[in-house]
Amino acid sequence: MGIVSFLAGKLSRAKSIGKPKNSIFEYSFTTLSGKEVKLSDFKDDNLLIVNTASKCGFTYQYEELQRLHEQYGNKVKVLGFPANNFLWQEPGNNNDIAEFCQVNYGVSFPMAQKVSVKGKAKHPIFQWLTGMTGKEPSWNFCKYLVKKNGEVIFYPSKVSPLDASIVSKLD
């Protein structure tokens, strides 16, 4: 095998490794308790994916996310992704985050292990979401509504999870 064909093979493999998946339902994440969750389990559902933080001015939205989960759980699955990307507002480890969410807000929707939502270490789910919307989280509690039909809508932090602009899109 010549050096050119060897390098071409390496380049081809490298491109396929970094290639984004076609559907969000091809991804998975690990929960705070260490369980793997496949998004394919939610393929018939709308998803609201939120980057969260425990020490943010928007942390009160955990309560609203929990209410959305309880009131509209038959129409949308809420998924929280703790991240420490904005002013170190999620400093705790996974156990700290789980305890904070349970004790303060009674969170019962799935929460991922702490991830990065921007930069080189960005979690693959957020790479896909950013690619689909052209919008990367600009702060904690940004939201992505992934509709059953494949449409992806970005909402900034200031939009409440219970806002009519979100709830009205849950079919």
Rg (CA), the chain: 17
Question: Cα 13 to the chain's mean position, in Å?
Answer: 27
Of the candidates 56, 68, 76, 142, the residue annotated as catalytic is: 56
Do the Cβ atoms of 164 and 142 come closer than 8 Å? no
A 10 A CB-CB count for 20 gives 13
Q: What torsion do the CA atoms of 57, 147, 47, 76 make, to the nearest 10 degrees?
A: 100
| Residue 142 is among the residues annotated as catalytic for this protein | no
Task: Please list the active-site residues.
Answer: 56
